[in-house]
């Protein structure tokens, strides 16, 4: 992929804005992965379940699972996300789902209120999750791994450790925390696969939208963007890696 500074400027100016947490317009490809988050969650859901999704964003994932359980509550600390989530649920006909403004560190639900708690790509507060789960209930989480998109960090002069990536991103650190909070680990796994943006617009939209140590702007990062694309492209696309961790844990009675 041959790219000039002018190509980057043109693509940048035409980028749309992120709505909720919707990356469906990003054209990408990844190496084979050992699991798919939606499939894993679906396999554990039952029609009678009460399910909580913490850090639900615009509910994009959660709403897609609505037909699998009885009652779903999505919570998020950002008010703007809740408006999007309610709108998305209404469009999808998921009228039974509710959404609330709430901090994951202070879940405003009673003990044993849920059969399943989900978190995907959001900080885990395991004591809160253990408290609101019934004994025997399941906590299912997929998190971004510590070594995710590894070539991005040095190319933009960012330091992962200084930014404070925490133990949610490393299985060997997360699993003991969950055990200490009263969980039995049913499944723990990790993948790290090649990941590729299929066009320049998709890469720019992604890097401008996901949390990094600083907001990516054309003024501040134009040179770094051009260098990264030139150094990490093939005819197929722009290359990095995707690392994810997955845990399915049961609250011990
Ligand atoms: C990376 S997005 C993931 C959204 C969604 N779970 C998904 O996988 O598409 C993280 C979400 O967590 C929310 N969030 C971050 N910190 C939070 C907290 N302390 N309590 C509740 N939500 C939080 C953010 O507002 C954002 O919507």
Residue 113 belongs to a domain with what CATH number? Answer: 3.40.50.150
68 close to ligand 1 (CB < 6 Angstrom): no
Ligand 1 contacts CB of residue 77 (under 6 A):
yes
Q: Work out how many domains the chain is built from and give that number.
A: 1
105 near 125, Cβ under 8 Å? yes
Which of 122, 126, 145 should be mutated for ligand 1, with most atoms under 8 A from CB?
Answer: 122
Range of the domain at 27: 5-251
C-beta 76 within 6 A of ligand 1: yes
Residues 77/55, Cβ–Cβ less than 8 Å:
yes
- Ligand 1, atom 27, lies closest to the CA of 57
Query: Using CA atoms, how far apart are residues 209 and 231, in angstroms rounded to an integer?
Result: 22
- C-alpha 168 – ligand 1 centre gap (Å): 14
User: Does 208 sit in the ligand 1 pocket, CB within 6 Å?
Assistant: no
Looking at the chain, the whole-number percentage of residues with pLDDT higher than 90 is 94
> Which residues fall within 8 angstroms of residue 138, CB to CB, at 6 or more apart?
44, 115, 116, 117, 186, 248, 249, 250, 251
In tens, the pLDDT along 18-36 reads 999 999 999 999 999 999 9
Quote the CA–CA distance of 218 and 175 in Å, as a whole number. Answer: 39
Task: Report whether 203 contacts 35 (CB < 8 A).
Answer: no
Report, as ranges of residue numbers, the positions in the chain whose pLDDT lies below 70: none
Predicted local distance difference test score (pLDDT) of residue 1: 74
User: Which of 71-94 are b and which e, b meaning 16 or more Cβ less than 10 Å from the residue's Cβ?
Assistant: ebbbbbbeeebbebbbebbeeeeb
Contact 146, 160 (CB under 8 A): yes
């Amino acid at each position: 992929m041959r790219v000039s500074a002018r190509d980057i400027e043109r693509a940048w100016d035409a980028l749309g804005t992120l709505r909720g947490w919707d990356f469906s317009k990003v054209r990408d490809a990844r190496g084979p992965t050992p699991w798919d988050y939606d499939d894993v969650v679906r396999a554990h859901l039952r029609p009678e379940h009460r399910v909580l999704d913490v850090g639900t964003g615009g509910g994009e994932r959660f709403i897609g699972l609505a037909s699998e359980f009885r009652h779903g509550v999505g919570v998020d600390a950002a008010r703007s996300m809740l408006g999007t989530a309610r709108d998305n649920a209404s469009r999808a006909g998921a009228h039974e789902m509710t959404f609330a403004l709430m901090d994951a560190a202070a879940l405003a639900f009673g003990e044993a209120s849920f059969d399943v708690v989900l978190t995907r790509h959001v900080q885990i507060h395991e004591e809160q999750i253990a408290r609101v789960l019934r004994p025997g209930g399941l906590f299912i989480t997929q998190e971004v791994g510590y070594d995710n998109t590894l070539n991005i960090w040095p190319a933009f002069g960012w330091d992962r450790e200084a930014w404070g990536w925490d133990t949610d991103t490393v299985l060997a650190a997360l699993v003991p925390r969950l055990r200490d909070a009263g969980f039995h680990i049913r499944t723990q796994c990790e993948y790290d696969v090649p990941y590729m943006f299929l066009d320049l617009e998709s890469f720019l939209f992604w890097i401008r939208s996901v949390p990094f140590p600083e907001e990516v702007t054309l003024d501040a990062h134009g040179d770094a963007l051009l260098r990264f694309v030139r150094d990490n492209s093939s005819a197929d696309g722009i290359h990095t890696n995707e690392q994810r961790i997955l845990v399915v844990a049961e609250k011990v009675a």
